[in-house]
Amino acid sequence: MNQVTQNPPEQIDTSEIAHYPNHKIRVLVGMTGSIDSLVAAFLLKKQGFQVYALALVTWDKKNPARSFVKPPNCFVENLDELKEICESADIAFYATDIKSRFDYEVLESTVGNKLTGIANISCFNCTKLRFQVLFEKMKKLKCHFMATGHFAKTYKNHKTNEFFAHSANDKDFDQSTFIAGLPQEILRKTLFPLSELKKDEVKKIAQTYKLDRKNQNDHKTMCFDHDSQFPTFIKTRVPEPLREPGNVHEIGTEKYIAEQDGVFNYHIGQTEIRSKDKLIDKQQGFEVVSFDYKEKIVYVGSNEKNHYLGAQVVQTIFSSEIDRTKPVKVYFKVNTNEQYYECVLFYKNNNTLYVEFTQPYYRLAESDKIVFYDRANKSAKILGFGFIATRGEYKKINRTKAYDKEKDDPFSSPEEKKAKAKKEVEFGF
């Protein structure tokens, strides 16, 4: 394709990058605590782009209140080392302090979720924040594009002018779930230099070109997830009245098991369950299944109690390509590096839908982010996403019969009868 010689316009998107010489295109790369972002910046530099590196400072290990908590995966341990490596590759280096924004937009919501027993989605919130800051700095530095070391892809639909996020080639390190929901203005300006590579290939490039670092993060788990010290951290930030103790009950039977020091000490699927003063006997085969924050109850049960055949999903955002007038078979992920699972979507209203899983799904938490794809292999297109509201099995219920129950219930108010019947008709839980 013939390239034009003039400078690229500011409104250029990633689909037009081949029309201009690389040396005239400025790219701002977001740097993290892993080698991935370094390799991404290095590859862009090797291709002749004008590359600028920006480290986003989110965490202060010297803060006594945080010294005992494991830092987030994206934490840059040594800014001086990172700067030295970038400058040795002739990449201009910048750093910006976003600790206050990280506290407000990521940490506070994570603490709130732990207090109420709902899902930890810290990495999704962090990704949203980091991309937003990178986008702002890209415009301020007058760069044409931004880039990250995420294992993900984007493609443009030239008929609709819409950009779609896609999964990467490396199924074990695919990070496309993180970028689901990024606005079009960001997707059209973001490059993913590692999209066609596998993690092992990235490591080899880092070793070959001496991009390895002494302190680097290479984790596949959600930040602050199951961190044994995070409950202690919560105690330093949250007043005691909001950390009330409660009880552990067996789900289904409501049988009292033990006392506990607060919902925030537990997570769904946890098998090592500590009461106020001792571990609950593992021979009972219990794991944490759900929470009742208002009543301060942690519910435990057998492993099978944590398997679900469906869920109600709210706050959904979907591509305009989806036909919402009928059930749609798609694939989904909840955890970023897990396999794809098949499901059927039943659309409702108010950005709500019901998901029927074709096989039981293990360990689903309220407010988990669920991402939907068009197929179950590399380069799968993200069709949409939402958040888990209710976990349960979908059952077809006769609408007339359900509303007949309303007449036969002498103990509920008319409003309660209608609400109950409507719930049975719609969700069948």
Tell me the pLDDT band of 180, cut-offs 50, 70 and 90: very high
Residue 48 backbone dihedrals phi, psi, to 5 degrees? 100, 5
pLDDT above 90 covers a percentage of the chain that reads 70
14-208: CATH number: 3.40.50.620
256-260/246-250 β-pairing: antiparallel
Q: Which residues of 368-377 are buried (b: 16+ CB within 10 A; e: fewer)?
A: bbbbbbbebe
State the chain's mean pLDDT as an integer.
88
CATH homologous superfamily of 305-391 equals Translation factors (2.40.30.10)
Looking at residue 323, its pLDDT comes to 87
**How many Å apart are CA 429 and CA 418, to the nearest integer?**
16
Looking at residue 383, its pLDDT comes to 96
Query: How confident is the model over 403-421, as pLDDT tens digits?
Result: 555 555 555 565 655 554 4
Query: How confident is the model over 330-364, as pLDDT tens digits?
Result: 999 998 878 999 999 999 887 999 999 999 999 99
Tokens of 106: 């990521």
Query: How confident is the model over 264-322, as pLDDT tens digits?
Result: 999 999 999 988 878 888 878 999 999 999 999 999 999 999 999 999 999 999 988 88
Domain boundaries, the chain: 14-208, 244-301, 305-391
Q: List the single range of 89-98, 215-224, 314-323, 339-348 with lowest mean pLDDT.
A: 215-224
Give every strand in the sheet of 256-260, ordered side by side. 256-260, 246-250, 297-301, 287-292
Looking at residue 387, its pLDDT comes to 97
Question: Could you tell me if 265 and 280 are in contact, meaning their C-beta atoms sit under 8 angstroms apart?
Answer: no
Looking at residue 34, its pLDDT comes to 85
Residue 20 backbone dihedrals phi, psi, to 5 degrees? -130, 150
pLDDT at 226 over 50: yes
pLDDT above 70 covers a percentage of the chain that reads 88
Mean pLDDT on 161-180: 94
Tell me the pLDDT band of 394, cut-offs 50, 70 and 90: low
Mean pLDDT on 372-393: 94
Residue 92: half-sphere exposure toward Cβ, Cα within 13 Å: 10
Question: Could you tell me if 56 and 96 are in contact, meaning their C-beta atoms sit under 8 angstroms apart?
Answer: yes
Instruction: Give the global pTM.
Output: 0.88
Best CA proximity match to 166, nearest among 35, 319, 29: 319
Looking at residue 255, its pLDDT comes to 95
Residue 323: half-sphere exposure toward Cβ, Cα within 13 Å: 5
Could you give the dihedral angle defined by the CA atoms of residues 209, 211, 214 and 219, in that order, rounded to the nearest 10 degrees? -120
